[in-house]
Amino acid sequence: MWKIAVGFVIFAALALYVINKGGDSLDMTGEKHGADAVHSEPAKADAPAPAADASAAK
Amino acid sequence: MATTAPRPMSAEEKKVIFASSLGTVFEWYDFYLYGSLAAIIAKQFFSGLDEGSAFIFALLAFAAGFIVRPFGALVFGRLGDMIGRKYTFLVTILIMGASTFIVGVLPNYASIGVAAPVILIGLRLLQGLALGGEYGGAATYVAEHAPAGKRGAYTAWIQTTATLGLFLSLMVILGTRIAIGEDAFAEWGWRVPFIVSILLLAVSVYIRLSMNESPAFVKMKAEGKTSKAPLTEAFGQWKNLKIVILALVGLTAGQAVVWYSGQFYALFFLTQALKVDGATANIMVAISLIIGTPFFIVFGSLSDKIGRKPIILAGCLLAVVTYFPVFKALTKAANPDLAAAQAASKVVVVADPAECSFQFNPTGTKKFTSSCDIAKQRLANASVSYSNEVAAAGTPAVIKVGETTVQVKYSAEDVAAAKAKAEEKLAALNAAEPKDAKAIEAATKSVKELSNEKTAGATLLGANLGAALKAANYPAKADMAKFDKTMVIVILTYLVILVTMVYGPIAAMLVEMFPTRIRYTSMSLPYHIGNGWFGGLLPTTAFAIVAQTGDMYNGLWYPIIIAGATVVIGGLFVKETKDVDIYAND
């Protein structure tokens, strides 16, 4: 069990480093569905907010 | 009742857990790749499509997640109950892995035209189908290898893979971006994380090939008791169908909304509602996930001792009781200025009710363009609390911020006047000495946007509403000097711990609810409908409620009502399963 714990700590430290390095360019909200998945340009001002799409469906 | 004396996990059992979890890591890896790389993939495969085709592809992408996965649960669940767990979840991982890999080598729209998005969507549908069979297979396989009294602890390992898959995908994506540079990544480097998945696939297939079939299935097959028609047996007989429905509404629906709220909605709430920058929000959520992840094992193991039901339902009940105070505490810790502005200023949307829609938009393809809908979208996105006032029929909506009234729709004359004013300001800035480059750039942008007929109205609304909200002390962004990191991490960790309470014991409980002959089929469907539909619709439903009611916390009613229903139905009708002999009804 201790090996798993140590492995997890190392993995987590590495992940935190990566996320820190990635800044706000990383998207952790999961898979996109619907219009979110096919539209590459930013949402238009009058378009519904991104939250209106079921973007985190799994 | 079968009981065995506690003993350490054997090497074979460790291998079983590892082999099963690896597939689930794969599932999550894939899930996050499609999130992180969505913009690039859309640009590579969908940017050349006309509006009508894009609409169809959007619906198909929606179907890949919401319809195909439960369908996959039926297809592979049936196979798993007829030909065995081992071969079925070998097939699911092969389909999933091959589809992911092919995305990495698939020519884009510029190379092969419309065939590119067609193949991509086809691959995603295949992935969705395989994903529908993967989790049920992994959970069933591990649980059927686990000794009685240890099923909670053993299956809980599968549940930790969500965090591992997330971190793995981020590491591969960022590692590639750093190694080859942003331009090359956008051009071709985005393919690497998909191609890399072949390694994960190779390891998974190698290990799974070396595994034995589940002892429960082998015994059942030897006795000639396998089901000839698992679907009919599972869903055509009320005795089993009743348990499937109870598993859905009394367990997985609540589990799903608590999970989505604790991880995805919390992140969304931090960035979109509380205006915390993405980098800080990501780190806060990642830290809370790291702290919370071991609790999957803690609650899985605990469920072997005190029962699955009390832990899962306690997690749902805590969510019901504490979500409002906890999310309000999150606002105070992350953006106290916003909390103060909401308390101090009165904002009213004055609109003809006939113009206002309930902005539920799961596929993202609907457009809400009436003045009332636009007003509510704008305010909901700015995290402004507002009340509604009825206007005369046919009157365009306006927003009142204190004493200031902001129009939502603008006439051509309004735009022309605003444009003339912006041009005047630009000319004055250009004439002034010394020149203020930033102000000139902003004024130039403003003139440009007001010159565009399509966006001029929205630009004018944004500017006028922004000014009114600024005057009412609404912060455009969270002030990081006032951001209480410790408190935010404590709150997010609490939300993740609720996730581990509901999710840690769920696999064991679902497995124990059904007999071996129809287990794979019966447990996969409620899991995927619960998580795909109840969980997946959380963001869009929450947004629609927020926009409708004018209170940024009201989106929480969705998970609260669903989790509350699960507490009541699960509490009354779902039986505890920890001591169930899973072979008893074979």
Residues in chain B: 586
Handedness of CA B119, B100, B25, B210 (dihedral sign): positive
Contacts of A25 in chain B (CB under 8 A): 278
* Pairing assessment for the beta strands B387-390 and B398-401 based on DSSP bridges: unpaired
Contact B66 A18 (CB under 8 A): no
From chain A, pick out residues whose CB is under 8 angstroms from the CB of B173: 22, 26
d(CA B366, nearest CA chain A) in Å:
8
Asked if residue A9 is part of any domain, the answer here is: yes
Torsion angle, alpha carbons of B543, B547, B548, B554, to 10: 60
Evaluate whether the domain defined by B10-226 bears CATH number 1.20.1250.20: yes
Report the pLDDT value the prediction gives residue B378, as an integer from 0 to 100. 87
Burial of B490 (0-12, 13-18, 19+ CB in 10 A): middle
A30 inside domain = yes
Would the CB atoms of B43 and A11 count as touching at under 8 Å?
A: no
Which residue type sits at B52? Answer: G
> Would you say residue A58 lies in a domain?
no
Of A42 and B561, more confident: B561
Best of B25, B282, B288, B363 to substitute, by most chain A Cβ atoms within 10 angstroms, is B282
Q: Cα distance from B168 to chain A (closest Cα, Å)?
A: 8
Look at residue B252 in the predicted model and tell me its pLDDT: 96
Q: Do B65 and A44 touch (CB under 8 A)?
A: no
Which residues on B lie below 8 Å from A6 (Cβ)?
Answer: none
Structural domain boundaries enclosing A18: 2-52
Q: CA–CA separation, B430 vs B423, rounded Å?
A: 10
The two tokens of residue B314 are 């306690």
Write out the two tokens for B281.
Answer: 């929000």
| Sign, Cα dihedral of B334, B335, B340, B346 | negative
DSSP B433: S
Cα angle for residues B12, B154, B212 (degrees, 5° grid):
35
Tell me: the pLDDT tens digits for B471-495? Answer: 888 898 999 999 999 999 999 999 9
Calpha distance B309→B567 (Å, rounded): 10
Q: Which ipTM score applies to this complex? A: 0.74
First to last CA, chain A: 30
Contacts of B91 (CB under 8 A, 6+ apart): B76, B79, B130, B133
* The two three-digit tokens of residue B347, written as one number: 């904002």
Residues belonging to chain A with any Cβ–Cβ distance to chain B shorter than 8 Å: 8, 11-12, 14-16, 18-40, 44-58
Measured over the CA atoms of residue B518, residue B524, residue B526 and residue B529, the dihedral's sign is negative
Q: Is the pLDDT of residue A25 over 80?
A: no
Examine residue A25 and state whether it is found in any structural domain, yes or no: yes
Closest CA to B22 of B147, B206, B176: B206
Mean pLDDT by 10 residues, chain B (586 residues): 59 84 83 83 84 78 80 92 90 90 92 90 88 87 88 91 86 89 90 92 88 86 87 90 95 95 91 90 92 95 96 97 96 93 86 86 78 88 86 89 87 86 88 85 85 83 88 89 96 97 95 91 92 86 87 94 97 93 75
State the Cα torsion B578-B584-B585-B586 to the nearest 10°. Answer: 120
A6: in domain? yes
Whether chain A has a CB inside 8 Å of the CB on B290: the answer is: yes
Structural domain total, chain A: 1
Give pLDDT, residue B368. 83
Q: Is B36 within 8 Å of chain A by CB?
A: yes
Nearest CA in chain A to B9: A1
Q: Which residue is it, tokens 């297979």?
A: B137
Report CA-CA distances (Å) from B483 to A1, A21, B269, B354.
Answer: 37, 20, 15, 41
Distance from CA of B164 to the nearest CA of A (A): 9
Listed in order, the ranges of chain B carrying CATH 1.20.1250.20 are 10-226, 232-344+480-586
Quick one: how far is CA B194 from the chain centroid?
20
pTM, two decimals, is: 0.86
Residue A19 lies in a domain: yes
Partner-chain contact A48 B368, CB within 8 Å: yes
Nearest to B378 by CA among B453, B318, B465: B465
Q: Hey, of A31, A44, A55, which one would you mutate to test binding to chain B, going by the most B CBs within 10 A of its CB?
A: A31
Which CATH class name applies to B232-344+480-586?
mainly alpha
Report DSSP letters for B517-541, one per residue. GGHHHHHHHHHHHIIIIIITTHHHH
Beta bridge partners of B388: B349
Distance CA B378, CA B372 (A): 10
Query: Is residue A39 in some structural domain?
Result: yes
Dist CA B146 CA B140 (whole Å): 10
Residues B47, B40: contact at Cβ < 8 Å?
no
Could you tell me if B337 and B473 are in contact, meaning their C-beta atoms sit under 8 angstroms apart? yes
Angle at B164 between CA B159 and CA B166, to 5 degrees: 110
**What span, in angstroms and rounded, lies between the C-alpha atoms of B287 and B272?**
19
C-alpha to C-alpha distance for B8 and B150, rounded to whole angstroms = 10
